Amino acid sequence: MSFISWQYFIFLPVIIILYWLLPARRRLLLLLVGSYFFYGCWDVRFLALVLATTVIDYNCGLAIDGRKNGPWQVLGLALLPAAWCLGGYVFLPAAGISTPLLLISAAMGLAFFGGHEAVGLLARDRRPKYYLILSVVFCLAILGFFKYFNFFVGSFTSLLGTVGLNANWSMLSIILPVGISFYTFQSLGYVIDVYRGQSPACVDLLTFATFDAFFPQMVSGPIERGWHLIPQLAHGADFRDSHVQDGLRLMLVGFFKKVFVADNCAILANYAFDPQTSLNGYWAVMGVVAFAFQIYADFSGYTDIARGSAKLLGIDLMENFRFPYFSRTPSEFWGRWHISLSTWFRDYLYIPLGGNRGTRWETLRNLAIVMVLAGLWHGANWVFILWGAYHGALLMVYRVVPPFNRVSGQGESWTWRDVLAVPLMLAFTLVGWAIFRSPSVSHLGVWFAALGNWNPASGLSWQSSALWLLIHILPLLLLQVLAWKYRDEATLEHVPWVARGLVYAVMILLIVSSGEQDKEFIYFQF
């Protein structure tokens, strides 16, 4: 079920009305059932993976906090995914739940139960560390199998081929579950926080299951933290008019970004990066500019709709974007772009590796490791790994190479150096988006080669296409400038009401006039 669908326009009001009518305890049950229904609309089979992640991290979190469940409780919970598969196998034959999936779910549940009980036999002071390891191993194994198995097998096969060894291994037909990277990282972050003592373990299974599957942000983030979202779910909120006002404002801005900006920019970006397109310098530049606005409007638009949907329920989700294209340095860019992911990697990988506390070489090494893994997080493709490595190299250059290392990228007051740094950083960012959007590493070479060819090409006129692009990004640019002035990217709450009302009216008009475009959000594939 996409946010841009008639089903969601029915689903969300029903959930909101029932939520505010029900008593607090039943609200959680409603949110959990609604979230499972929302996710099941994509593919009901993969609810077993959501259940598995929930069961694993709920039990490990409790055990780390010294509140270990009894063996029978752990066993019963561990077999919940298998029970779901069995129920679907018997009562929902159309769902396509196969016997192997049922057996794998049961085997995984029993394996987790065995590991959980084995750790319980260790000395008390050693258990938390191994419960954390148990959670990390099982969750990353699930993520790794569904997202990376074929990639690594294919890459290893190709590597053997380069040395003359013919490994004719067949690939498995694996469907990537929607949102698996997001809810896996969110759940893992919770367990790590419990282990560090930064968050108490969630005792209530209903609350934790809702945290793991909360429908507004489950599929594409923001990747929430347990200490921020769980208390809001557990305690609920009193109804306020501001919840409705702020929620609808956020959703309107999100729909505008997605429908008017992102989907129209996608037309040009898809044409420019199509391997069949005869690319020249004009289209190479215009294509990557179109994609830069497409991915920003698409992803931040999704986040705005997610935050707005949650706000209508009285729940605050974290901000995920903060004027990223106004960044002066790579580190500032990553403090403004996909904030929930960049802070996740900072807190759970970069800092544990040593962060910037060691020597210069160790700091650069840590940056490289984190950014390559951040690229791999986006997908099982060498293009994403190269994109991560590119941003890692940018971070290194701005840290050690003059004059780049003299640009601080911090503080609200800007100097002339900051003003010059923004377009330079934007140019570097556009090169990164060219890598990210390229269908293959070889096609990336075609894009760079096109920058040396400024002869007109056949196909779409680049002049009329540039006008099309300007028409669809200019309203967003004006919105960003207005929002930057008031330091309020999403709701424009602090903008004078006359100007705000005019902006909202124009956005509604542009949304309605856009018609139907590509409804899928880019980050659904990650």
Distance CA(86)–CA(94), nearest Å, equals 13
Q: What are the residue ranges of helices labelled H in 256-359?
A: 263-272, 281-311, 330-334, 339-345, 351-353
For residue 457, the tally of other CB atoms under 10 A from its CB is 17
3-state helix, strand, coil in the chain (%, to 5): 75, 0, 25
The answer to whether residues 68 and 120 touch, using CB atoms and an 8 Å cutoff, is: yes
Instruction: Residue 226: name the closest of 186, 180, 179, 196 by CA.
Output: 186
Torsion angle defined by CA atoms of residues 485, 491, 496 and 499, in that order, rounded to the nearest 10 degrees: 90
Give 171's DSSP letter: P
The answer to whether residues 292 and 272 touch, using CB atoms and an 8 Å cutoff, is: no
Measured in Å, how far apart are the chain's first and last C-alpha atoms?
16
Provide the CB-side half-sphere exposure for 366 (13 A, CA).
Answer: 20
> Is the bond preceding residue 200 a cis peptide, omega within 30 degrees?
no
Residue 462: which residues within 8 A CB-CB, separation 6 or more?
Answer: 280, 282, 283, 286, 456
Alpha carbon separation from 425 to 128, 144, 392, 430, 431 (Å, rounded): 43, 33, 14, 9, 10
> Is the bond preceding residue 216 a cis peptide, omega within 30 degrees?
no
Residue 336: which residues within 8 A CB-CB, separation 6 or more?
Answer: 321, 322, 323, 324, 326, 327
Instruction: Residue 300: name the closest of 181, 476, 503 by CA.
Output: 476
Active site residues: 378
Alpha carbon separation from 8 to 35, 158, 467, 507 (Å, rounded): 12, 43, 33, 20
Amino acid at 64: I
Per-residue b or e along 335-364, where b marks 16 or more CB atoms closer than 10 Å to that residue's CB: bbbbbbbbbbbebbebeeeebeeeeeeebb
